Amino acid sequence: MSALGAHRTARRTARLLDRHVPGYEKRKARRRRRRRRILKVVVVIAVLSTIVLAPALLGAESEDDAAAQQQLALASSVSVSDLPYEDAFNQTLIIGVDPRLVAAVAAVVSDFDPALGCATSAARRGIMQLTPDLAASYGVDPCSPEVAIVTGAAHLVTLYREHGDWAAALEAYGGREVPIVPVGGSGQTFAAAVQAQWETYKAQFGGAGPGVPVGSGPVAPKGDTSPFTEEPGLPPVTQRMLAEIIPMFGRGYDTFCFGQRDGPSDHPSGHACDFVMSSPLGTMPTPEYLAHGWALCNYLIDNADRLRVKYVIWQKRIWELGEWDDYRRYSNGNLTEDHYDHVHLSLYRS
């Protein structure tokens, strides 16, 4: 018997024994009156809170909606054209980074050459000049341009979250152990060269102002968007999350919530869901689904408090307590166990 089962059995036994002690009915009546008084106080507090706070909450919600719509309008106007791999660069918008910035990085680090450093054991490789260790941590080939562009953008967003602005994120992307030297030898530092090229692309392609806020990119849902009703026993916190996420992002190739898992897991209680981003399972996502998975993660992180997000696992990385870290639970190369093919979301139990 589990500890919880033993605890419940002990409580039932105590209640049965209590009934044979003199004065049981009087104690029972007192407990009922006390519960009724507490319930009345709770109801009064709830009503007063609603009356006092409702106008402010409604105003805040409408302001948030207006800000979100403004962000989407700004973000949707940002794109590049007549550049190599322009579709891949424009796809990075849904991750929450300005495609003009990602293209500026590629222009400075490789002049859009997807094979740069790939024929040798260079310390950085491909169109985004990813280090082998970084590419391996994301499970990608740095010499595959479409995948490398998405990965470079995702890494930029991670650095932006860590450092707080794009200038600092670019400094970190340039690296200290393996510093990036701008192609063409402009005499500028990597970060300065990228920012100058970014300004050039802003003037050339127009669109939104200085950048795109993280997580603000418009997202087209992928897969089924019908209400998630096949598991009616899910906890309310999970049902609320699905009611918001499914219409926006879709179910991907499939979405699972309830289910047994080896080891500690939030799935058996219904406080976790998996959003599948590749088909079949056990394969790497396409660049399009890779970007979609990062967009979903960014949205969950941006709304973590409201959605009650406990942690997110994706591409062998885990986000919890406000930051990303390597996911070290598995190291056997299984793409599913390392979460390369699905986004795992765990929620708090409230």
Q: All domains of the chain, ordered by start, with CATH? A: 86-205 (1.10.530.10), 236-347 (no CATH)
Let me know if 75 is exposed, middle or buried by CB neighbors in 10 A (0-12, 13-18, 19+): buried
What's the whole-number mean pLDDT along residues 51-58?
A: 42
Burial 233-264 (b: 16+ CB within 10 A, else e): ebeebbbebbeebbeebbbbbebebbeeeeee
- pLDDT for 96 equals 86
What's the whole-number mean pLDDT along residues 283-311?
A: 94
- pLDDT for 258 equals 85
Most confident of 1-5, 261-265, 344-348: 344-348
Let me know if 203 is exposed, middle or buried by CB neighbors in 10 A (0-12, 13-18, 19+): exposed
User: Radius of gyration over alpha carbons of the chain, in Å?
Assistant: 26
User: pLDDT, tens digit, for every residue of 160-196?
Assistant: 988 888 999 999 998 876 778 788 666 688 899 999 9
Measured CA to CA, the distance from residue 127 to residue 109 in angstroms comes to: 7
Please check the confidence at residue 12 and state whether its pLDDT lies above 50.
Answer: no
What's the whole-number mean pLDDT along residues 271-285?
A: 95
By C-alpha distance, which of 129, 55, 109, 101 is closest to 217?
A: 101
Query: When comparing pLDDT for 187 and 316, which is higher?
Result: 316
Please check the confidence at residue 77 and state whether its pLDDT lies above 80.
Answer: no
- pLDDT for 216 equals 60
Contacts of 39 (CB under 8 A, 6+ apart): none
What's the whole-number mean pLDDT along residues 312-338?
A: 87
**20-29, 120-129, 158-167, 199-208: lowest mean pLDDT where?**
20-29
- pLDDT for 329 equals 77
Two tokens, residue 94: 């849904």
Q: What percent of the chain has pLDDT over 70?
A: 71
**SS3 for 276?**
strand
Contact 216, 71 (CB under 8 A): yes
Alpha-carbon torsion (194, 195, 200, 203), positive or negative: positive
Max Cα-Cα span within the chain: 93
What's the whole-number mean pLDDT along residues 320-339?
A: 85
What is the Cα 190 distance to its own chain's centre? 28
What is the Cα 203 distance to its own chain's centre? 31
pTM greater than the 0.75 cutoff: no
Helix, strand, coil in percent for the chain, rounding step 5: 50, 10, 40
User: pLDDT, tens digit, for every residue of 94-141?
Assistant: 888 899 999 999 999 999 999 999 998 889 999 999 999 999 888 899
Contact 289, 280 (CB under 8 A): no
Contact 190, 108 (CB under 8 A): yes
- pLDDT for 188 equals 80
Amino acid in the structure at residue 199: E
User: pLDDT, tens digit, for every residue of 210-258?
Assistant: 667 676 666 789 999 999 998 888 999 999 999 999 999 999 999 999 8
Q: What percent of the chain has pLDDT over 90?
A: 53
Confidence of residue 8 (pLDDT cuts 50, 70, 90): very low
Two tokens, residue 82: 């007549």
39 HSE (CA, 13 A, CB side): 6
Confidence of residue 289 (pLDDT cuts 50, 70, 90): very high
Please check the confidence at residue 58 and state whether its pLDDT lies above 50.
Answer: no
